[in-house]
Amino acid sequence: MARLKTLMVSQWLWERLNIEGSEIHVRCVKGLPAGAEMVNSFYDGDRGCVCFTYRHESWPDLQEAEIIQRFTPEFEEAK
């Protein structure tokens, strides 16, 4: 099986990241590991978010019919 996790980005944040002139000043303190490969993306209308599915060898192998775990990065205010 695959070694996958899904990163969800809220519609509010996705829109702000893509508005011309918009600035968001944060630093990622816990993010995707180097070498993570995006394998899928989709919009989840029920949650109102854009989802990106990544693969990385350091994550545990999924078992058959197991739900892909959500990956939640951590940020702090950039100085």
Tell if the pTM clears 0.85, that is, is over it: no
Q: Is the pLDDT of residue 37 over 90?
A: yes
Query: What's the pLDDT tens digit per position in 39-73?
Result: 999 999 999 999 999 999 999 999 888 999 999 99
Q: How far is CA 9 from CA 15, 20, 29, 44, 73, in A?
A: 10, 18, 16, 10, 10
> Residue 50 to residues 14, 44, 65, 66: CA-CA distances in angstroms?
8, 6, 23, 21
Mean pLDDT value across residues 25-34: 90
